[in-house]
A and B are shown apart, each in its own frame.
Chain A
Amino acid sequence: MNDVMPYIALSGILFSIGCVGVLIRRNAIVVFMCVELMLNASNLALVAFAKQHGNLDGQIAAFFVMVVAAAEVVVGLAIIMTIFRTRRSASVDDASLLKY
């Protein structure tokens, strides 16, 4: 057991929790939060590996993930707003018309 391994394990657990959250929550905003949780979990792994390898590239990658997440949140929340405006609902199950 070295210094970094617990971080990796925590990262995996958080990722799994975020994953289950995406699958079982129906409020679109909460689903989005769970996606953010998954992104954060992966960031943790990146930073931990950066320390393990003594290389700052991992931190740079985490930085980029944050930037992309920011952009994604902006657009995603705008979409949720638009859907809510027309359907008066933020449930992902209500947006299910595109099917067979």
Chain B
Amino acid sequence: MLKPKVISQVLRQATTGGVKATLLLNSEGSPLAFVSESGDRDARVYAAIASNVWSTFEKNTRPLTKENLATGSGSGGGTSSGNGANNALKFLLVECEEGNLAITTVANMLLCLTANPDVALGILKAKTEALARHLEEPFQRVTTYNSS
């Protein structure tokens, strides 16, 4: 079972040092929980746009990630031999003039952090990934209930 209070506490811990809002969204883009320094309205706007941005990218690049099979790699060893599944979209970083958004997945949900522009993008990315790792295991359990 999901404990919204506990989730909010965890999200609150990440909402420091220039991070303005931390949100957890279901696959439809509705927030399951969020912490926002600038109020509910802002957070709901972030939720709607973040989930839309993610799904647009995911949907449009699906044909690219699928046909990405091992091909005779020319220059360097960089050409991946991954299949479609593990070349799927993993992370998005959206840079705007007055703030940045980082989006990634936790189980079948989305985690979204919004930060002031003075937070280095590398820090924002690392923070988002750390939080996602922390939430992944417990949420994996909840979502296997949902799908099995």
A, B in one complex: no
What residues make up the interface of A, taking CB atoms closer than 8 Å to B? none
What residues make up the interface of B, taking CB atoms closer than 8 Å to A? none
